[in-house]
């Protein structure tokens, strides 16, 4: 806040002089119409928006009273969450009203960058901030190197097209880098190279007879949390629930079976289950097919003649058996995975009995590790074997959401020669390099490798990045191997961070820009699915922001485009105002608010403009859309991909992945090597045909087990708003809702037997160290973690954040420890993913 | 000094204190004699505070604007943990958030007197509350001069209630935080003055 008028300082000292009420200036106050208690409107209103606390992206309603958001519930129209929300939505109230939020644009005054080095931020006007940023961008254009601008995306809405696509592409940079590979690209890998969809699945809990949860905790995280909370009780009554997780998570605690797998050995366990299903003739023949004569020839260790089997919806079952499954009987799987053979057999038999109404719910725990791509395939192959793929009570794909797409053709007309040329340059994450295939959707370098940006920046390979614009992200905290990011970001000459809160990333920023909170203040939309329904749900400004904030994905690009236009580069402004006209009036936006509204209307128009019957909810115009805040599709129709419509090379569900073979061979050919070399460069051990089937890979562990004898695993709290709730006191107050956790502590779960060996008691302060780094936290002796493995919730350990998340910012003193400091930098290279699971971090534990 | 004159001083004093909590602009503050004027005003209600205001002027002259802004930001703006949150609700409410029920009541208090906030800030920001106190004192003094006894009483009541319920309860701890975390003498002195003026105000408004 500034003093805006000089007469605010004026003082009259003359004794007895009348105080001139009209002559004295006000600064932050102004005359208004008196509102008496009687004339004030009381009550409140439920207003629709969207919670982005996890990737369920729940349609919600917020009760707004006297301009304040006071309560949250699910949007009663929603068929994906039945009008219910999980704790995350409520916690958002402490984010929007957090005194530590970014309030005004600020700039660094200390040129030195690093942990514990105060950037000495001072407030600046929006005009100064935008002018400075535009000058830096123009310098890159003027020197013919627009590719040296990188746009790092974090949590997004689907308004992302504007900041993530149009801005960099019209400007001339190929470096629009998403955060996707930090989440679960290795998980999508397994699904794509079996089922042909690079997507998360939906799950038909209402009709399942066997729920096999693998490497996640669906009532606390993953992608349909409220619907699962609502249904798990019924599922437990009428189906079997088995959970594979080294830690007793919420679902495991309620389930019928807990399979405490040795971290990183999920591939062996899945193959062991497959072995039982096949040798005992329990696979679902309506999907997979059968031996032509009906006689089961799957005998442990014995090869089978492919020609004897007649497959229906799948491809390569016998090849898979011969290459990988036949040699993984339950006993061997038990040895490798630590799960008892009888339990493997019992679960497999249960699956076989329940088939095809089997729901294999795969999460990142089994896939996001250095050799996790094949674990992911192996787990998803069980969905195929049991016929639960795309089937009643199984794992489903999604109905489409018929919103408008980014008009790439029109966008291209605004790209000048420089932009067209430079957007084709290699990207800073080195995707598609020999040792980083990132073969998303079958294409070499088709996927992002977010954590490898740190290497690209450090090594200036393929070139130097001179400017970063990042939004709603914190890569230096959220990627494993934080030290590497700290070094990399320290060396970037100019960084802009758009966020609701300053964080470790802001510590390396030159300018920080305050943004709206997505649930309460932002205008936009997301697409989501759960419970058989696809949903388009709006983010809406249900309260007036009380600080000077903007919408990151739309207002920022628009405001920058105006500044670039002032400097002679009008392509971006012209692109935005032309591409996103108001679909109703045809008008071009005159300011950033109007632009945001027009862009949202452009995208969502097919859902409400009544021009075409798109199915699902009937919405009568824009105002109706705003009021309802969402659209539901018709329910997903089962078996849409059956009948040869899988998007794989064979058009079948692939146990032997022709799709992966094509992709790997394509990548190998690009680098003039063979697939074996690709496997070697990508940290995988198998050679030959094994590369094309789900198989077991011995887990890669970082560190010497003699020095670091415990496997560390990371998990997500049900209170984590994607790592953004650590400044909320409620996070700590209620932390005990996560099994094994303790309020106001960052607790490392240690099996009591290990505690005894270590001489560590419950509640002891401890130091945990790996080859990546050390953190300090609290010991929690707990039977819910398998011996030899220790677990800690992701989220705490912020050394540059608000007053609750950090103990003392000035001393860079964190509350708790960041798991990503412990987990050394590593990738799952075939998908480009962060390797943050599977126990690849080995640790030692010391009492302090 | 008669109460009328004390109130006259408090009109100016609260306004200048409000200015002190705004973003520091060295040239403007010096040109407008912010600290000397504050010092002069304070002589009539608290001579020790007056000396502190004089020292603030010296600090203003000797400290760079960037250093003052860095200190001001770390105390009252951020972007990281806010060392001395300038919002009443952070102190008055259990949750320690902004835009709490107390903030709403402050905004309603303003509205009932025909005043609204024109800044993008919660209504209970220290600079806004001090400006509002200045306004209430001014209204009372005006009422005295216009011999509107009912109005005089009304504004005295408003001063008392607003100060007692919304401003005074959080000033001591707020000032403690400033004194603990400020790097510059400028803001440490400001905290001292605010605390003393609040104590003085407490006596004056309860007498009215």
* Residue pair A163/A498 in contact by the 8 Å Cβ criterion: no
Distance from CA of B188 to the nearest CA of A (A): 18
Residues of A in contact with B135 (CB under 8 A): 26, 29
Residue that is written with structure tokens 């790209």 in the block: A415
Express each pLDDT in A177-227 by its tens digit: 999 999 889 999 999 999 999 999 999 999 999 999 999 999 998 889 999
Q: Do A546 and B16 touch (CB under 8 A)?
A: no
Please give the pLDDT value at position A492: 98
Say how many CB pairs under 8 Å bridge A and B: 185
Of A13, A24, A546, the CB nearest to B122: A546
Nearest-Cα residue of chain B relative to residue A94: B97
Q: Which two three-digit tokens encode residue A558?
A: 């628009």
Per-residue pLDDT reduced to its tens digit, B105-146 = 999 999 999 999 999 999 999 999 999 999 999 999 989 889
Topology, domain A710-847:
Barwin-like endoglucanases (2.40.40)
Complex-level ipTM: 0.96
Q: With respect to residue B39, please indicate whether it lies within any of the assigned structural domains.
A: yes
Pairing between β-strand A240-244 and β-strand A257-259 as defined by DSSP bridges: parallel
- Distance in angstroms (rounded) separating the CA atoms of residues A38 and A20: 31
Is there a contact between A123 and B15 if contact means CB atoms under 8 Å apart?
no
Q: Which of B19, B108, B111 sits opposite A8 (nearest CB)?
A: B19
Q: How far is it, in rounded angstroms, from Cα A760 to Cα A750?
A: 9
**B127·A545 Cβ contact <8 A:** no
A30–B11 CB contact, under 8 Å:
no
Q: Give domain status of residue B119, yes or no.
A: no
Calpha distance A319→A311 (Å, rounded): 12
- State residue B207's pLDDT score: 66
Note the pLDDT of residue A39: 66
Q: Tell me whether residues A802 and B34 touch, CB distance under 8 A.
A: no
Tell me the β-bridge partners of A471: A153, A498
> In this complex, is the C-beta atom of A9 within 8 Å of any C-beta atom belonging to chain B?
yes
Structural domain spans, chain A = 99-183+417-515+550-567, 200-396+642-657, 710-847
Contact: A99, B142; criterion CB under 8 Å: no
> Do the chains contact at B96 and A545, CB–CB below 8 Å?
no
Query: Which A residues in the span 496-535 are in contact with B, Cβ-Cβ below 8 Å?
Result: 501-502, 506, 512
State how far Cα A530 lies from the chain centre.
Answer: 16
CATH number of B196's domain: 1.10.3480
* Contact (Cβ atoms closer than 8 angstroms) between residue A71 and residue A62: yes
Domains A99-183+417-515+550-567 and A710-847 share a fold: no
For residue A242, report the phi and psi dihedrals to the nearest 5 degrees.
-120, 140
The answer on pLDDT for B1 being more than 50 is: no
Q: SS3 of A594, please? A: helix
Assigned domain for B115 exists: no
Right CATH for A99-183+417-515+550-567 from 3.40.50.740, 3.90.226.10, 3.30.70.260, 1.10.1490.10: 3.40.50.740
B167 domain-assigned: yes
For residue A722, the tally of other CB atoms under 10 A from its CB is 21
Looking at the complex, report in whole angstroms how far the Cα of residue B23 sits from the nearest Cα belonging to chain A: 5
Q: Which residues of A327-347 are buried (b: 16+ CB within 10 A; e: fewer)?
A: ebbbbbbbebbbbebebbbbb
| Subunit contact B115:A32, Cβ cutoff 8 A | yes
Average pLDDT taken over every residue of chain B: 94
* Residues spanned by the domain of B143: 3-87+128-207
The series of mean pLDDT values per 10 residues for chain A, 848 residues long, is 90 54 72 75 90 95 95 96 95 96 98 96 98 98 98 96 98 96 93 96 97 96 92 97 97 97 98 98 98 97 98 98 98 98 98 98 95 98 98 96 97 98 98 97 95 98 98 96 97 98 98 97 96 96 96 98 98 98 98 98 98 96 98 97 97 98 98 98 98 97 97 95 91 94 96 98 98 97 97 97 94 96 97 95 97
Query: Considering only residues 59 to 98 of chain A, which have any Cβ-Cβ distance to chain B shorter than 8 Å?
Result: 66-68, 93-94, 96-98
**What is the CATH number assigned to the segment(s) A200-396+642-657?**
3.40.228.10
What pLDDT shows up at residue A32? 82
User: What six digits make up the tokens of A10?
Assistant: 């004026």
Chain B residues with CB under 8 Å of A94 CB are: 95, 97
Is residue B101 a part of any domain in this protein? no
Evaluate whether residue B116 is within a structural domain: no
Residue B7 confidence (pLDDT) above 90: no
CA distances from A69 to A47, A93, A96, A520 (A): 9, 7, 9, 8
- Going through A726-840 in order, the beta strands assigned E by DSSP cover 747-750, 765-769, 774-781, 789-793, 806-808, 813-814, 827-828, 833-834
Which of B42, B78, B89 is the best mutation test for A, with the most CBs of A within 10 A?
Answer: B78
- Residue in this structure with the two tokens 């001393």, named with its chain if needed: A811
d(CA A477, CA A503): 8
CB distance from A34 to chain B under 8 Å?
yes
Structure tokens at A784: 């819910």
Residue that is written with structure tokens 């074997």 in the block: A385
**Chain A residues touching residue B11 (CB < 8 angstroms):** 19
Is the bond preceding A356 in cis, omega lying within 30 degrees of 0?
yes
**B6 — pLDDT class (breaks 50, 70, 90):** confident
Closest Cβ–Cβ partner in A28, A546, A809 for B81: A809
Give the helix/strand (H/E) hosting A21.
none
Who wins on pLDDT, A41 or B41? B41
Q: Is A588 exposed, middle or buried (0-12, 13-18, 19+ CB in 10 A)?
A: middle
Peptide bond into B79 cis (omega under 30): yes
Residue B157 in tokens? 């009541």
Closest A-chain CA to B85: A99
Interface of A with B in 98-117 (CB under 8 A): 98-104, 106, 109
Residue of A nearest to B7 (CA): A19
Confidence at residue A172, expressed as pLDDT on a 0 to 100 scale? 98
**Residue B45 belongs to some domain of the structure:** yes
How many angstroms separate the CA atoms of A65 and A804, rounded? Answer: 27
pLDDT in tens, A551-567: 999 999 999 999 999 99
How many domains would you assign to chain B? Answer: 1
Residue with tokens 């190929």: A174
The span from the first CA to the last CA of chain B, in angstroms, equals: 14
CA nearest neighbour of A168 among A407, A414, A403: A414
How far apart are the CA of B11 and the nearest CA of chain A, in angstroms?
A: 9
- Of the partner residues B22, B37, B79, the one whose CB lies closest to the CB of residue A102: B79
Six-digit token pair at A169?
Answer: 């592409």
Taking CA atoms, what residue in A is nearest to B108?
A: A35
What are the strands, taking DSSP E only, across A363-474? 395-396, 467-471
Asked if residues A496 and A513 have their Cβ atoms less than 8 Å apart, the reply is: yes
Distance CA B40, CA B47 (A): 9
pLDDT for position A17: 47
Between chains, do B80 and A502 touch, taking CB under 8 Å as contact?
A: yes
Residue B138: which of B1, B2, B13 has the closest Cα? B13
Residue B144 lies in a domain: yes
DSSP element (H, E) containing A297: none
Which chain A residues are Cβ-neighbours of B15 within 8 angstroms?
8, 24
Closest CA to B94 of A411, A729, A615, A125: A729
Tell me, yes or no, if A547 comes closer than 8 A to chain B by beta carbon: yes
Write down the pLDDT at residue A694. Answer: 98
* Angstroms from B180 CA to nearest CA on chain A: 13
- φ and ψ at A845, to 5 degrees? -130, 130
| Structure tokens belonging to residue A364 | 């990142």
**A100 contacts on B by Cβ (under 8 Å):** 78, 80-82
Beta-carbon contacts of A126 under 8 Å, excluding residues fewer than 6 positions away, are A105, A548, A550, A559
- pLDDT in the model for residue A24: 58
In angstroms, the CA B195 to CA B199 distance is 6
């Amino acid at each position: 806040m500034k003093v805006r008028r000089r007469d605010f300082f004026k003082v009259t000292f003359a004794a007895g002089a009348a105080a001139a009420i009209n002559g004295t200036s006000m600064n932050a106050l102004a005359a208004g119409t008196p509102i008496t208690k009687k004339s004030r409107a009381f009550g409140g209103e439920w207003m629709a928006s969207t919670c982005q606390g996890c990737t369920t992206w729940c349609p919600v309603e917020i009760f707004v009273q006297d301009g304040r958001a006071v309560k949250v519930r699910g949007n009663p129209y929603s068929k994906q969450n039945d009008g219910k929300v999980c704790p995350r939505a409520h916690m958002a109230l402490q984010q929007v009203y957090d005194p530590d939020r970014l309030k005004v644009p600020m700039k660094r005054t200390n040129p030195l960058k690093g942990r514990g080095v105060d950037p000495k931020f001072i407030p600046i006007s929006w005009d100064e901030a935008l002018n400075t940023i535009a000058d830096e961008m123009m310098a890159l254009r003027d020197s013919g190197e627009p590719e040296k601008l990188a746009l790092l995306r974090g949590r997004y809405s689907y308004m992302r097209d504007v900041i993530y696509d149009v801005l960099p592409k019209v400007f001339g940079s190929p470096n629009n880098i998403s955060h996707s590979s930090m989440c679960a690209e290795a998980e999508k890998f397994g699904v794509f190279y079996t089922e042909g969809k690079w997507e998360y699945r939906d799950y038909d809990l209402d009709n399942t007879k066997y729920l096999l949860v693998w490497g996640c905790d669906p009532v606390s995280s993953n992608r349909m949390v409220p619907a699962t909370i609502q249904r798990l009780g019924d599922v437990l009554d009428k189906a079997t629930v088995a959970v594979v997780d080294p830690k007793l998570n919420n679902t495991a605690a309620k389930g019928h079976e807990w399979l405490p797998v040795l971290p990183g050995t999920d591939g062996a366990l899945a193959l062991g289950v497959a072995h039982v299903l096949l040798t005992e003739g329990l696979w679902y023949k309506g999907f997979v097919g059968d031996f032509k004569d009906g006689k089961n020839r799957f005998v442990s260790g014995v090869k089978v003649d492919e020609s004897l089997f007649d497959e229906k919806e799948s491809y390569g079952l016998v090849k898979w058996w011969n290459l990988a499954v036949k040699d993984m009987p339950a006993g061997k799987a038990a040895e490798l995975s630590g799960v008892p053979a009888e339990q493997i057999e019992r679960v497999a038999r249960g699956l076989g009995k329940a088939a095809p109404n089997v729901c294999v719910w795969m999460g990142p725990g089994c896939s996001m590790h250095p050799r996790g791509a094949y674990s992911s395939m192996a787990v998803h192959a069980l969905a195929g074997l049991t016929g639960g793929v795309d089937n009643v009570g199984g794992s489903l794909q999604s109905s489409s959401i018929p919103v408008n797409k980014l008009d790439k053709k029109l966008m291209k007309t605004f790209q000048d020669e420089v932009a067209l040329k430079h957007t084709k340059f290699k990207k800073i994450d080195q995707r598609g390099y020999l040792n980083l295939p990132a073969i998303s959707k079958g294409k070499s370098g088709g996927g992002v490798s977010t954590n490898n940006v740190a290497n690209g920046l450090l090594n200036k390979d393929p070139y130097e990045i001179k400017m970063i614009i990042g939004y709603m992200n914190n890569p230096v905290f959220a990627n494993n191997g934080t030290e590497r990011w700290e070094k990399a970001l320290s060396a970037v000459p100019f960084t802009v961070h758009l966020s609701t809160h300053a964080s470790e990333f802001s510590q390396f920023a030159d300018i920080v820009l305050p943004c709206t909170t997505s649930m309460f203040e932002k205008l936009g939309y997301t697409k989501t699915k759960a419970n058989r329904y696809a949903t388009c749900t709006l983010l809406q400004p249900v309260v007036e922001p009380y600080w000077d904030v903007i919408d990151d994905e739309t207002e920022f690009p628009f405001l920058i485009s105006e500044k670039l236009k002032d400097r002679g580069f009008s392509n971006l402004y012209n692109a935005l105002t032309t591409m996103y006209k108001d679909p109703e009036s045809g008008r071009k936006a005159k300011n950033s608010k109007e632009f945001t509204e027009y862009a949202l209307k452009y995208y969502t128009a097919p859902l409400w403009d009544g021009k075409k019957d798109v199915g699902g909810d009937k919405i009568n115009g824009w105002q109706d859309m705003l009021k309802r805040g969402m659209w539901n599709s018709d329910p997903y129709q089962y078996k849409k991909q059956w009948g040869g419509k899988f998007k794989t090379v064979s058009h079948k569900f692939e146990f032997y992945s022709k799709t992966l073979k094509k992709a790997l061979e394509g990548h190998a050919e690009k680098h003039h090597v063979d697939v074996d070399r690709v496997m070697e460069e990508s940290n995988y051990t198998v050679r030959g045909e094994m590369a094309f089937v789900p198989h077991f890979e011995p887990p890669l562990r970082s560190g010497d087990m003699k020095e670091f004898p415990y496997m560390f695993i990371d998990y997500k709290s049900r209170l984590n708003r994607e790592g953004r709730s650590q400044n909320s006191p409620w996070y700590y107050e209620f932390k005990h809702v996560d099994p094994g956790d303790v309020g106001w502590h960052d607790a490392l779960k240690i099996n009591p037997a290990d505690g005894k060996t270590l001489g560590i008691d419950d509640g002891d302060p401890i130091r945990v160290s790996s080859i990546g780094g050390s953190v300090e936290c609290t010991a929690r002796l707990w039977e819910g973690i398998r011996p030899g493995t220790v677990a800690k919730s992701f989220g705490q350990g912020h050394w540059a954040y608000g007053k609750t998340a950090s103990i003392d910012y000035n001393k860079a003193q964190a509350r708790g420890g960041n798991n990503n400091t412990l987990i050394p930098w590593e990738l799952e290279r075939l998908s480009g993913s962060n390797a943050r699971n599977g126990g690849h971090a080995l640790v030692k534990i010391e009492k302090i | 000094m008669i109460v009328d004159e004390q109130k006259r001083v408090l009109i100016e004093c609260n306004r200048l204190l409000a200015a002190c909590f705004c973003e520091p602009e060295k040239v403007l503050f010096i040109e407008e004699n912010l600290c000397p004027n504050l010092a002069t005003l304070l002589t009539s209600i608290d001579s020790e505070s007056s000396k502190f205001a004089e020292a603030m002027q010296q600090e203003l002259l000797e400290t760079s604007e960037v250093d003052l802004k860095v200190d001001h930001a770390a105390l009252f703006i951020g972007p990281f943990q806010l060392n001395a949150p300038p919002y009443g609700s952070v102190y008055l409410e259990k949750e320690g958030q902004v835009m709490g029920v107390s903030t709403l009541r402050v905004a309603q208090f303003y509205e009932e007197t025909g005043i609204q906030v024109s800044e993008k800030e919660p209504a209970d920001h220290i600079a806004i509350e001090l400006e509002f106190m200045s306004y209430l004192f001014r209204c009372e003094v005006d009422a005295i001069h216009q011999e509107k006894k009912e109005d005089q009483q009304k504004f005295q009541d408003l001063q008392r209630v607003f100060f007692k319920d919304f401003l005074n309860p959080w000033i001591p701890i707020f000032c403690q935080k400033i004194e603990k975390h400020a790097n510059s003498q400028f803001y440490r002195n400001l905290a001292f003055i605010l605390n003393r003026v609040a104590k003085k105000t407490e006596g004056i408004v309860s007498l009215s």
